């Protein structure tokens, strides 16, 4: 029997928030208090929590628990011993290394890691200890420095694509190309024996879309700013996206070959966004380049190397690979091809893997120069053939022990996916905000603010920042603010950051509304500053209740009266404004006074029944149980809507 988290919490008489925290600590994947738990998990949790309660609030997690081992366990045995569900252990163990199968004994190094992860310490028997000592001689962890992965971002036309091209052309030798130039989503270049990987598609989507799915593809962002154009709206947007993803930024001031450049002004403008160049006492590396004339590119690559050194990126080449799907395609001859950027570990032809809801065995491995290779290590972009079905860009890719292991995990993921769809979980909205704060799911209200003018933007930013709720730690955090209409990237950023979008005096087009809906991002539009502030305050206080508001659909003026036997009086009318429809409510107004309120019995255009009639058209209107219609009467059509 399945149970939702909150049901189990009720059953155990503990707050569901506490149970959620507990599940997370135990490595049991749940999304929220609506998530389903299976029978085994429920039993296990009950056992642990009830025994914990018996110990009168002793904090189970804080103590180190000892397990005694005289025979190396397999996964199933370990699950029983630790009282952790098998599936949870399987999900976790692939982070530590490869095990050959569920039934075979777990290598000691992985065993140590996984056991430690759950807060246990192993006590080996004498015999086992000797065995382990001999095993330890072959060192299994080998940390190597990992090439940084770069995404190029910036305003449109500032030269991102040109820069990517020039780096690729001048740093990949001709024979390396092997005649194949097609993109696999990323490429690797070598500079002074150091490697750098570039994500092929410029723009911050690379990390925003990925981050929306909880993964990070980029180590460093190169922000391209055209020297003759300066800091533009998308420059600022890109900065905000990189910051939100916690990716360090290197600035490439491009097009310095152009006349009318103003590098100093760019530096000054950028400093407003905490990007202060080294010569101004800051920490941001800034390089002047011309992508078109191939100038300063070496310096830029060196700056990237330097930044990478500061980041001390490391990976272990001796563990099974983990990585990200960066591109997918369907090839007529070769089938499904997934481009994978390996983030840690190594992979080989013949390895089994999982990626999102897909799994498979690596049949072919192709590098970014189009060559067939046998194996690949950290920060290498590769094309892989052998997927069971199309993975999605942004899916996490992982090597697993065998086919069976892969299928079990994918099966579980499919189940999760199904229950996710059923739950139809929604993201942050002003309506559920208070509840989410109370449940500890969110602590701040993140906002993306878009307005019509700089003036309104400044004013709103100031006021919103000042909103504070007494005795509560919640506050408004503006993660991005800009002048102009809401864009797709705003929606993606909101989705990735669990933010809502607030628009002032702007109207997003239908497409954006659609994307907002599909991403479950709330878009709130206001025309009055006071309303905006008021609603956000109320939402933080939990006062926001749906209000029913009347709105006028249209008005018609009576210009002719027809008396029809058996039917009654029909008002030959002219629609003055709006659009009237048969299902609306109506009221009849004469000389500014309300004469009648009710429903429409008939709405016709030239004897034909009409559902709706637009402004500037004539029509015949019959009113329910009302015949006293006079010339010049105004028939007002109105309806209600729920406003939040």
Residues near ligand GDP (CB under 6 A): 154, 156-162, 202, 254-255, 257-258, 290-292
Taking CA atoms, 576 is separated from 59, 555, 561, in Å, by 72, 6, 17
Determine the Cα–Cα distance for residues 258 and 158; give it in Å rounded to an integer: 12
Q: How far is the CB of 148 from ligand GDP (least distance, A)?
A: 21
Q: How far is the CB of 167 from ligand GDP (least distance, A)?
A: 12
Q: How far is the CB of 209 from ligand GDP (least distance, A)?
A: 18
Question: For residue 643, which phi and psi values (nearest 5 degrees)?
Answer: -115, 145
Question: Vertex 320, ends 246 and 30: CA angle to 5°?
Answer: 60
**Closer CB to ligand GDP, residue 168 or residue 255?**
255
Q: How far is the CB of 204 from ligand GDP (least distance, A)?
A: 12
**Which residue lies nearest ligand GDP, judged by its C-beta?**
159
Tokens read off for 429:
């909205």
**Closer CB to ligand GDP, residue 253 or residue 355?**
253
Q: How far is the CB of 572 from ligand GDP (least distance, A)?
A: 59
**Closer CB to ligand GDP, residue 163 or residue 337?**
163
User: What is the DSSP-derived secondary structure letter of residue 227?
Assistant: T
**Closer CB to ligand GDP, residue 134 or residue 260?**
260
Say which residue the tokens 């920490």 belong to. 283
Output the DSSP codes for 443-508: SEEEEEEEESSHHHHHHHHHHHHH-B-TT---EEEEEEEEES---HHHHHHHHHHT-EEEEES---
**Closer CB to ligand GDP, residue 183 or residue 585?**
183
Output the DSSP codes for 556-610: EEEEEEEEETTTEEEEEEEEEEEEEETTSEEEEEETTEEEEEEEEEEEEETTEE-
**Closer CB to ligand GDP, residue 222 or residue 428?**
222
Three-state DSSP at 644 gives: coil
**Closer CB to ligand GDP, residue 160 or residue 241?**
160
Q: How far is the CB of 477 from ligand GDP (least distance, A)?
A: 30
Q: How far is the CB of 388 from ligand GDP (least distance, A)?
A: 36
Question: Vertex 218, ends 217 and 223: CA angle to 5°?
Answer: 145
Rg of the chain over Cα atoms, rounded to whole angstroms, equals: 32
Three-state DSSP at 623 gives: strand
**Closer CB to ligand GDP, residue 117 or residue 257?**
257
Determine the Cα–Cα distance for residues 106 and 492; give it in Å rounded to an integer: 41
Taking CA atoms, 236 is separated from 30, 217, 339, 492, in Å, by 35, 21, 30, 15
**Closer CB to ligand GDP, residue 75 or residue 153?**
153
Determine the Cα–Cα distance for residues 25 and 47; give it in Å rounded to an integer: 16
By residue count, the chain amounts to 644
E strands, 205-313, are 220-226, 249-254, 286-288
Q: How far is the CB of 257 from ligand GDP (least distance, A)?
A: 5
Output the DSSP codes for 546-567: -EEEEEEEEEEEEEEEEEETTT
Q: How far is the CB of 225 from ligand GDP (least distance, A)?
A: 10
User: What is the DSSP-derived secondary structure letter of residue 39?
Assistant: H
**Closer CB to ligand GDP, residue 289 or residue 512?**
289
**Closer CB to ligand GDP, residue 288 or residue 490?**
288
**Closer CB to ligand GDP, residue 252 or residue 486?**
252
Q: How far is the CB of 258 from ligand GDP (least distance, A)?
A: 5
Three-state DSSP at 71 gives: coil
Determine the Cα–Cα distance for residues 209 and 10; give it in Å rounded to an integer: 37
> With the C-alpha atoms ordered 511, 513, 516, 517, is the resulting torsion angle positive or negative?
negative
Determine the Cα–Cα distance for residues 229 and 155; give it in Å rounded to an integer: 10
Q: How far is the CB of 494 from ligand GDP (least distance, A)?
A: 24
Q: How far is the CB of 269 from ligand GDP (least distance, A)?
A: 18
Q: How far is the CB of 252 from ligand GDP (least distance, A)?
A: 10
**Closer CB to ligand GDP, residue 260 or residue 471?**
260
Task: Decide if 622 contacts 602 (C-beta within 8 A).
Answer: yes
Q: How far is the CB of 228 from ligand GDP (least distance, A)?
A: 8
Q: How far is the CB of 239 from ligand GDP (least distance, A)?
A: 15
**Closer CB to ligand GDP, residue 257 or residue 375?**
257
| Cα pseudo-dihedral 446, 473, 247, 212, rounded to 10 | -40
**Closer CB to ligand GDP, residue 97 or residue 159?**
159
Burial class (CB in 10 A: 0-12, 13-18, 19+), 47: exposed
Determine the Cα–Cα distance for residues 501 and 450; give it in Å rounded to an integer: 8
Which residues 6+ apart lie within 8 Å of 91 measured at CB? 27, 29, 409, 412
């Amino acid at each position: 029997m399945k149970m939702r988290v909150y049901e189990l919490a009720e059953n155990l008489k503990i707050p569901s928030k506490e149970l959620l925290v507990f599940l997370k600590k135990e490595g049991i994947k749940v999304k929220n208090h609506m998530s389903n738990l299976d029978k085994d998990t429920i039993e296990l949790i009950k056992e642990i929590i009830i025994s914990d309660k018996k110990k009168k609030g002793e904090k189970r997690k804080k103590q180190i628990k000892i397990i005694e081992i005289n025979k190396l366990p397999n996964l199933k045995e370990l699950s029983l011993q630790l009282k952790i569900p098998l599936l949870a252990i399987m999900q976790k163990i692939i982070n530590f290394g490869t095990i050959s199968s569920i039934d075979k004994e777990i290598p000691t190094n992985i065993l140590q890691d996984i056991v430690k992860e759950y807060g246990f310490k192993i006590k080996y028997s004498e015999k086992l200890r000797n065995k382990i000592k001999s095993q330890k001689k072959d060192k299994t962890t080998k940390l190597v420095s990992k090439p940084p992965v770069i995404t190029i971002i910036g305003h449109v036309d500032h030269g991102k694509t040109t820069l990517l091209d020039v780096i690729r052309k001048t740093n990949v030798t001709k024979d390396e190309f092997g005649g194949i130039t097609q993109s696999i989503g990323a490429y690797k270049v070598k500079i002074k024996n150091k490697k750098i990987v570039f994500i092929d598609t410029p723009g911050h989507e690379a990390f925003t879309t990925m981050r929306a799915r909880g993964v990070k593809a980029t180590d460093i962002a190169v922000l391209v700013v055209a020297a003759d154009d300066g800091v533009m709206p998308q420059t600022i947007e890109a900065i905000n996206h990189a910051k939100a993803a916690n990716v360090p930024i290197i600035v490439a001031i491009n097009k310095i070959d152009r006349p009318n450049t103003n590098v100093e002004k760019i530096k000054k403008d950028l400093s407003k966004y905490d990007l202060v160049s080294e010569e101004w006492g800051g920490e941001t590396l800034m390089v002047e380049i011309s992508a078109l004339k191939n100038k300063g590119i070496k310096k830029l690559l060196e700056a990237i190397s330097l930044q990478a050194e500061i980041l001390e990126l490391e990976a272990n080449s001796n563990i099974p690979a983990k990585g990200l799907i960066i591109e997918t395609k369907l090839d007529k001859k070769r089938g499904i091809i997934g481009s994978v950027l390996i983030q840690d570990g190594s992979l080989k032809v013949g390895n089994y893997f999982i990626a999102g809801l897909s799994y498979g065995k690596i049949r072919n491995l192709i590098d970014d120069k189009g060559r067939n290779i046998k194996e690949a290590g950290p920060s290498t972009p590769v094309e892989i053939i052998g997927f069971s079905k199309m993975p999605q860009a942004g899916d996490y890719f992982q090597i697993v022990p065998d086919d069976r292991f892969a299928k079990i995990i994918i099966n579980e993921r499919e189940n999760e996916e199904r229950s996710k769809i059923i739950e139809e979980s929604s993201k942050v909205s002003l309506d559920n905000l208070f509840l989410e704060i109370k449940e500890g799911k969110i602590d701040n209200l993140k906002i993306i603010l878009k307005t019509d003018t700089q003036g309104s933007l400044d004013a709103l930013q100031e006021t919103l920042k000042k909103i504070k709720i007494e005795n509560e730690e919640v506050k408004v955090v503006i993660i991005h603010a800009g002048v102009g209409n809401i864009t797709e990237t705003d929606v993606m950023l909101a989705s990735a950051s669990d933010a809502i979008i607030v628009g002032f005096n702007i109207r997003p087009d239908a497409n954006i509304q659609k994307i907002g809906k599909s991403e479950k991002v709330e878009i709130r539009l206001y025309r009055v500053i006071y309303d905006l502030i008021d609603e956000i305050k109320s939402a933080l206080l939990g006062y926001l209740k749906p209000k029913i508001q009347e709105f006028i659909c249209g008005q018609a003026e009576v210009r002719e009266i027809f008396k029809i036997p058996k039917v009654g009086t029909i008002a030959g009318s002219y629609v003055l404004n709006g659009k009237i429809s048969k299902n609306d409510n109506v009221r009849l107004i004469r000389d500014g006074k309300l004469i009648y309120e009710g429903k429409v019995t008939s709405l016709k255009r030239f004897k034909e029944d009409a559902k709706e009639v637009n402004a500037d058209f004539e029509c015949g209107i019959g009113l329910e149980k009302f015949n006293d219609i006079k010339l010049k009467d105004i028939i007002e059509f109105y309806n209600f809507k729920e406003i939040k």
